[in-house]
Structure 1
Amino acid sequence: MNQSVKKALHLLNLFDENNYELSLKEISERANLPKPTAYRLLTTLESMNYVYKEKESEHDTRYRLGLKLLELGQLVSDRLEVRRIAYSYMEELASSIQEAVHLVVVNHDEATYVEKVESNKAIRLYTRIGKNAPLYMGSGPKLLLAYLPKDKQEEILRDAELEGKINSERFKKELVEIQKKGYSYSVGEQDENTTGISYPIFDYRNHVIAALTVSGLSTYFEGENLTNIKMKTKETAENISRKLGFRGFVQGVVE
């Protein structure tokens, strides 16, 4: 590990419920660092909102943890919350349509499958919890990409095109269509002869935080069965979103 990063993280670990505020002198002594080194690290952390300082006098500077940590903690909390809340709904959906149901989230520049309920069919798809996939491959990843900020989309599509994976202009049109329709559809993108359908899960801030994905053999995703799968998956995604505090659905449509 980079030593500067390790030292900076160690400074953050000095704060706890009994030490929510520390002086530069206390931090330096507890971290066993020279004061100039501790000050340099704290200045960097302060610039990124991980700590903030209060000057009580010319000779007494005190530090507290910054709001950036609260923001990051909320992201972790949200991710755990969506898994906890979604699971029972996923079980009900999987039982109803007899297909595998997944919960997919953005993880840096990839999509990660964080939860799964298997179908009861004899022939099953192999998808493990923790699996990563490119954000341009599969219905769940593509749906998440469609709802990312435009600059992040551009970055991911540019890199994928440079690697010869996609045509970015054609893909941009697909992302626009996904947002317009409100769901994503894929055939044979991750596994041969399989189809995936995904709907967005929104949180109380109106952000898409996960994709609810149903996948199975393409022969089952036809005609009335396909219509039924789409209807029930959409309904389930909306129910999970409401449970997370989202209030943007009006007669089944996202405002």
Structure 2
Amino acid sequence: MFPTERDTPALSVLARAVSVLDAFSPDDTAVTVSELGRRTGLAKSTVHRLAVELCRLGLLEQTPRGLRLGLHLFELGQLVPRQRDLREAALPLMEDLREVTRSTVHLAVRDGVEVVYIEILGSKAYPGLPSRVGGRMPAHATGVGKAILAFSPPEVPAERIKSGLAPCSPFTVVAPGALLRELENVRRTGIAYDREESGVGTVCVAAPVLDTGGLAIAALSATGRSTQLDIERMGPAVRTAALALGRQLAAKGRGPGGTRPVPRTGSA
């Protein structure tokens, strides 16, 4: 749903510019200034001024049919340390996991109460799955999300519940008590499941990638069609890959929360 409010003094220029960038959807090839105004709730003149500057900076591009996101955004995205470091360490393990499970393999991280997919290795056996790199999903409706929520500080699942457990399919867990019981089971087994909760016909099994403090940095999953993928059987392989990735990150000196510890003064 796009906001309907018009320009207000409370919005900074930066916030307005970000709202314009956020207004683009994965299906857009080009969007007119008028449509961006409708989606953002900003005046058309404001959107035009922002678009001119964003184009100058390479964050937007002008086409005969309208505006589209600029290549400089992609370049900046590749510099995000969490995405780059995780992706580089995870790719060999993801490739092995795809080979073993014959499924689509996802790597996701938490952003607020949602998960963002930072790498996806597709499988020929399951073409057309709706997930995409950079895509977001509510954490309670996905296997990777539940794996991360289960191994996050208590305030994180509490905030997810407070934000509302909106259904993504008829099978999404929307009762707070049921979600908390499921997260407790994930903590016990180290494995989370999505049984058509993110979308009808799609299932996955996921496991958390833990830091040295036992908190989730990310999660890996194996995903496929409900009629073809035996998620119960795939669980140990996904869990093994996630544990291996956590150990690799720890060996590279990543401390709790996925950050590098600060060396002590005078240490070797």
TM-score (norm 2): 0.58
Matches of 2:216 and 2:115 in 1, distance apart? 13
SS in structure 2 of the partner of residue 140 of structure 1: helix
Is the 2:186–2:192 Cα contact (8 Å) retained in structure 1?
yes
Structure 2: runs of 5+ lacking an equivalent:
1-10, 16-79, 168-172, 253-268
Matches of 1:122 and 1:177 in 2, distance apart? 28
Is the 1:187–1:195 Cα contact (8 Å) retained in structure 2?
yes
Q: How big is the alpha-carbon RMSD for the aligned residues of Structure 1 and Structure 2?
A: 2.6
Matches of 1:172 and 1:147 in 2, distance apart? 12
Which residue in the other structure is 2:184 paired with? 176
* Letter in structure 2 aligned against 1:200: P
Residues 1:186 and 2:190 are matched in the alignment = no
SS in structure 1 of the partner of residue 163 of structure 2: helix
Deviations along 1:196-217, one digit per CA (max 9) or x if unpaired, are 1001112344331001011101
Q: Which one has the bigger helix percentage?
A: 1
SS in structure 1 of the partner of residue 227 of structure 2: helix
* Letter in structure 2 aligned against 1:108: G
Is the 1:95–1:119 Cα contact (8 Å) retained in structure 2?
no
Structure 1: runs of 5+ lacking an equivalent:
6-75, 248-255
Is the 1:158–1:168 Cα contact (8 Å) retained in structure 2?
no
Which residue in the other structure is 2:174 paired with? 166
Which residue in the other structure is 2:69 paired with? none
* Letter in structure 1 aligned against 2:249: L
SS in structure 2 of the partner of residue 221 of structure 1: coil
Is the 1:137–1:189 Cα contact (8 Å) retained in structure 2?
yes
Matched residue count: 174
* Letter in structure 1 aligned against 2:181: K
Which residue in the other structure is 1:144 paired with? 148
Change (3 A) 1:4 1:106: closer
Change (3 A) 1:122 1:244: closer
Which residue, 139, 156, 159 being the options, matches 1:135?
Answer: 139
Which residue in the other structure is 1:113 paired with? 117
SS in structure 2 of the partner of residue 127 of structure 1: coil
Which residue in the other structure is 1:104 paired with? 108
Is the 2:151–2:214 Cα contact (8 Å) retained in structure 1?
no
SS in structure 2 of the partner of residue 144 of structure 1: helix
* Letter in structure 2 aligned against 1:235: T
Change (3 A) 1:4 1:81: closer
Return the index of the structure with the highest Cα Rg: 1
TM-score (norm 1): 0.61
Which residue in the other structure is 1:215 paired with? 223
Is the 2:152–2:215 Cα contact (8 Å) retained in structure 1?
no
Q: CA deviation at 1:147?
A: 1.7
Percent identity between the aligned chains? 24
Q: CA deviation at 1:4?
A: 10
Change (3 A) 1:91 1:217: same
Deviations along 1:133-191, one digit per CA (max 9) or x if unpaired, are 01110111111111221122212212215x68721122111111111111101111112
Is the 1:86–1:240 Cα contact (8 Å) retained in structure 2?
yes
Matches of 1:158 and 1:209 in 2, distance apart? 22
Matches of 1:226 and 1:154 in 2, distance apart? 28
Deviations along 1:4-42, one digit per CA (max 9) or x if unpaired, are 99xxxxxxxxxxxxxxxxxxxxxxxxxxxxxxxxxxxxx
Residues 1:196 and 2:204 are matched in the alignment = yes
Q: Which one has the bigger strand percentage?
A: 1
Matches of 1:216 and 1:154 in 2, distance apart? 29
SS in structure 1 of the partner of residue 200 of structure 2: coil
Matches of 1:205 and 1:159 in 2, distance apart? 27
Residues 1:83 and 2:87 are matched in the alignment = yes
Within a 5 Å distance, the mapping from 1:230-249 to structure 2 comes to 230-245=235-250
